[in-house]
Chain A
Amino acid sequence: MRLVGRTVFAAALLLSWSASAEETSLTVPIIVPITGLLALEGTSQLNGANLAIAHAPPGLKIKAQTVDSGTAAEGGANALERAVGDKNVDFAVAPLFGTQVLAMLPVALENKMPILAPTGTGPVTEQGNPYMFRLYPHDAISKAAHIRYVVDELKLKRAAILYNTTGYGQSGFKYMSDYLSKLGGEVVFSEGVDLTAKEISATLAKLKAAKPDVILIQMHSASIAMVIKQLAAGGVQIPVVGNTTIAMPATAALLQPSDLKGVCAESAWWLEKGANPMTDRFLDDYTSKFGAMPDAYAIQQYDGLMMALTAVKSGARSAEDVRRYMSTSEYQGVAMSYKSDGKGNLAHSVVIVCYDGSSLTPKLVKRYDDVVAY
């Protein structure tokens, strides 16, 4: 009896050892802004990353390491420098804040460490850094679809542009202005709005005086919600086509359905329940775990991190292996198909969604795949 017991114990030990031997251990630093003005977006990003870790391919033993990057330029770079000291780190999740990603690039390059960031800010993939992977469409791409929809579908060409005076806002403004002029339109009014502004009635008065036929917006969540609310309160009947933040559930939740009537937005994602089991699993688990619908930052971060984890599962054993996989492979995520264009831009699909005024959930009106910049 004792012998049987010892044999069973030894077999169990052996099995458990072999099981652990098959597991690949890795640490995933999640460097995101979870305090400060970008906390809302950063928390979505963090949620998406955490769900990806929960959904990681079997056989991966993952230790997530969340680090707040705040809003200081060096916040992300400091965190990455700390993260690369861990031998189990082969890639890192980087913040959505373009300026922080730019500061992280030299650290990533010197340590040969891939970083995955859901940022649209143009210059991050224009530095010739092979370790940078952008999970969100480049502004050149998303704004191309944005303007194509306005000019080709809505047939509107006299635009007023409101944007935040941040890297994100200015980058979007630049591309929208350029593309509009290339397609024969004109910007009749434009104004940069500070991220902390709470009231823009003077700006709206000037905007109305310029008589635009469409209002284009490139702003962060809190700002765009404030603008949409004030446009609705002011009875402004001009069509609005905004950026992805107005399509985010957390932003829409700040408004009434009537405020959003007729408001459209470009976005990098469109998830529909029942489309496929992968999407359903993502939506179900996300809503049950975080009590809210996912937004673009959550979805894109989920997809990007799943792609990197798939690389590890596929045999990537070093940061260089992960970089090679991310640079050359195609990955089908829940939002879209991801493939690098050689510069680290992985996302190339854009959708246009519109609110009908009856709910806080927009409807898909147009999909642009493999969009190219003008």
Chain B
Amino acid sequence: MLRSAKLRLVVGLAALCALASWPLVMSSPYDLRLFTLAGVFAILAIGYQFIFGYVGELSLSQGAFFGFSAYVTGILAAKAGLDFAETFLASIVACVLLAVLISIPVLRLASHYFALATLGVGQVLLLLAIDWQSLTGGAIGLSGVPLPKLFGVQIGRGWPLLLFVWSFVLFAAIVAHQTKRGLYGLACHVVRQNAVAARALAIDPDAIRFAMFLLSAAIAGVAGALHAHTIRIVSPEGLDFKVMIACLTMAVIGGRTHVWGAVAGALLVVHLPEWLRGFEQSYVIITSSVLILILILAPEGLAGFVDRILPVATPERTSTVAASSRPSNLPAGEGVLMPSETPILAIRHLTKTFGGVHALNNVSFSLMRGSITAVIGPNGSGKTTLVNCMTGIYRADAGEIVLGGNEITSMSSDEIAARGVGRTFQNLRLVEDMSVLDNVAVARFRSEEASLGKAMLTGRRDSRLERARSHALHVLRQFGLDKIADARCGSLPHGIKRLVEIARAICLDPVVLLLDEPAAGLNESEQAELAGHLEGLAARGLTLLVIEHNMEFLKSLATHMVCLDYGELIASGRPSAIYQDERVVEAYIGRRHAAELGA
């Protein structure tokens, strides 16, 4: 691993040297022009990574923002005669405002609907550019866009323009680095991999997607403005879908989340057709073949390919985080609290239907502070629907859920999580390619008040991330998981993953923890270990609600039990009483079999 790290360093330095020396070696006006254009497209691709790479949304409007910005620059510079500072700022602001406008209807959509809606934006702008001839010059476009002029000094073609454009590449790279490296970047990663899990960690995926969409648009605005000044004309070709395809190609070929991948992708996509133009008509086929070959050899992009052959050496964060300093908000001492008679969470007349099916029908019960309440019932009885309603994934049709005296029924998942309702999932929702420590630390996102603005202002040390990791390490230590804190979650056995998911929920500092089949897939010793941990949590005052089929596991664990059948609460009480309840027995084994058993 150490050798790999050294090699990465060498390769990285060599790549930087190659990048810096490229325009020195290939320094004809033509080469400088191409390198400048590659810089413009590198900015576009870096911007696209925010929405496409960091949060995984296939937006097809990046080309539209690029072209729109170019038009704003072209109109203001060529027609109104404004200076670069004014046109540049106006182009970025216009893109961000357009993104805000678009995001209102579009960000509600998911997957291919989102892609199609964003594609439509570009088509509308293209039609406007062609038809609004008095403003845009129609299909011919607007020529005469001047070279940028800053503080009275015109940036000349060749080297000055190249350095000017690449200084913005550096700026975009810094913005990307700041976004990615901290707690905010971890949250983005969780949003991309599993938005439901993100919400359960009090992270609002919509807010993050919105921020990334706007940031993408703003950076596309930078690229579009510089493109207009570089080629000195704006035309509908800048809004053509081909620009979007080129941007997508750069991001995919280079790597979706690596800044240098975007730069490499842009250099390749801009230069490759130019290098191959000597083949006349065949160059398009050759260019496409080369790009396809790269994708076959490196489906994760050039950056991912490098990661594969020279893996990133995971720093031993367990030794770097301030593990010795105990986070101030962890419960003090290890004393035992007995369950109180104060309801911390009350469910009243909760009803949820799907079409004509009553998944939950008038369900009411309460969770007492420090108690372990088990929810049992046969398959399809409404247990998971109950948890999903309690955590805001489903909105109940009737009834209310009250947490600590406040109604949370209509709140969003992340708000409910922020108010202290943690959960785990029947099917694990950990981020496989993140370390155990970071999977857990990201739960501190809301507590640390991480935001994009704060991420931008973070200095060399990210104190929020350090605190989050420190907190996470303490939680992991409680579960005996601190030794594997640096391991990737994907490499862990199922039973350990269950514990990590619980630890992640605990890292939220919840007042109520909902566990959906936590013992599923665990062997007996793992179940016993898990039960011990859960009892320990309850003893420290945490309220637990456990959905489980495994009666043996629940027998000694639960202090209270409710049973659901066909969405109705059929029994509630102490476990020993529930096990004897006829209706419960009937629900599990059927009326006839129950009668036979009784006989």
Determine if A73 and B231 form an interchain contact, defined as CB atoms under 8 angstroms apart: yes
User: Chain B residues near A283 (CB, 8 Å)?
Assistant: none
| B236 nearest CB across to chain A (Å) | 8
Which residue among A72, A77, A98, A110 has the maximum number of chain B CB atoms within 10 Å of its CB? A72
User: Chain A residues near B33 (CB, 8 Å)?
Assistant: 77-78, 81
| A171 nearest CB across to chain B (Å) | 7
Bound Cα distance from A229 to B133, whole angstroms:
29
Bound Cα distance from A74 to B139, whole angstroms:
15
Given known contacts A103-B231, A110-B157, is B237 in contact with A78 (CB within 8 Å)? Answer: no
A165 in complex: contacting residue of B29, B139, B235, B242, CB < 8 Å: B139
Chain A residue nearest in CB terms to B138: A170
Chain B, interface size category, equals: 20 to 34
Assess whether A102 is interfacial by the CB under 8 Å rule.
yes
B29 in complex: contacting residue of A79, A81, A121, A171, CB < 8 Å: A81
Given known contacts A66-B280, A123-B140, A167-B140, is B232 in contact with A85 (CB within 8 Å)? Answer: no
Assess whether B458 is interfacial by the CB under 8 Å rule.
no
Assess whether A169 is interfacial by the CB under 8 Å rule.
yes
Query: Contact string, B280-296, partner A, CB cutoff 8 A, digits 1/0?
Result: 11011000000000000
Determine if A81 and B30 form an interchain contact, defined as CB atoms under 8 angstroms apart: yes
A71 in complex: contacting residue of B141, B143, B237, CB < 8 Å: B237
Determine if B34 and A78 form an interchain contact, defined as CB atoms under 8 angstroms apart: yes
Assess whether A34 is interfacial by the CB under 8 Å rule.
yes
Determine if A99 and B141 form an interchain contact, defined as CB atoms under 8 angstroms apart: yes
B83-103 interface (Cβ within 8 A of A): none
Determine if A192 and B131 form an interchain contact, defined as CB atoms under 8 angstroms apart: yes
Assess whether A127 is interfacial by the CB under 8 Å rule.
yes
User: Chain A residues near B157 (CB, 8 Å)?
Assistant: 110
Query: Contact string, A290-318, partner B, CB cutoff 8 A, digits 1/0?
Result: 00000000000000000000000000000
Bound Cα distance from A77 to B34, whole angstroms:
11
Bound Cα distance from A223 to B238, whole angstroms:
22
Assess whether A287 is interfacial by the CB under 8 Å rule.
no
Interface Cβ pair total, 8 Å cutoff: 90
Determine if A85 and B29 form an interchain contact, defined as CB atoms under 8 angstroms apart: yes
| A220 nearest CB across to chain B (Å) | 11
| B159 nearest CB across to chain A (Å) | 14
Determine if B37 and A98 form an interchain contact, defined as CB atoms under 8 angstroms apart: no
Assess whether B277 is interfacial by the CB under 8 Å rule.
yes
A68 in complex: contacting residue of B139, B144, B235, B280, CB < 8 Å: B280
Assess whether B130 is interfacial by the CB under 8 Å rule.
yes
Given known contacts A66-B280, A82-B30, is B235 in contact with A121 (CB within 8 Å)? Answer: no
User: Chain B residues near A73 (CB, 8 Å)?
Assistant: 141, 231, 233, 235, 237-238
User: Chain A residues near B237 (CB, 8 Å)?
Assistant: 71-73, 99
Given known contacts A73-B141, A121-B140, A171-B140, is B233 in contact with A67 (CB within 8 Å)? Answer: no
Which residue among B37, B138, B139, B231 has the maximum number of chain A CB atoms within 10 Å of its CB? B139
Assess whether B21 is interfacial by the CB under 8 Å rule.
no
Assess whether B274 is interfacial by the CB under 8 Å rule.
yes
Bound Cα distance from A67 to B273, whole angstroms:
11
Provide 12 A-B residue pairs closer than 8 Å at the C-beta atoms, listed in order of the A residue: A73-B231, A74-B230, A84-B30, A85-B30, A103-B143, A103-B231, A105-B143, A166-B139, A167-B141, A170-B138, A192-B130, A192-B131
Q: 19 other contacts beyond A102-B233, A103-B235, A170-B130, with CB at 8 A cut-off? A: A67-B277, A68-B277, A72-B242, A73-B141, A78-B34, A81-B30, A82-B274, A84-B30, A99-B141, A102-B143, A102-B235, A121-B140, A122-B140, A123-B143, A165-B131, A167-B139, A167-B235, A174-B133, A192-B130
Closest 5 CB pairs of A and B: A167-B140, A82-B30, A102-B143, A81-B30, A167-B139
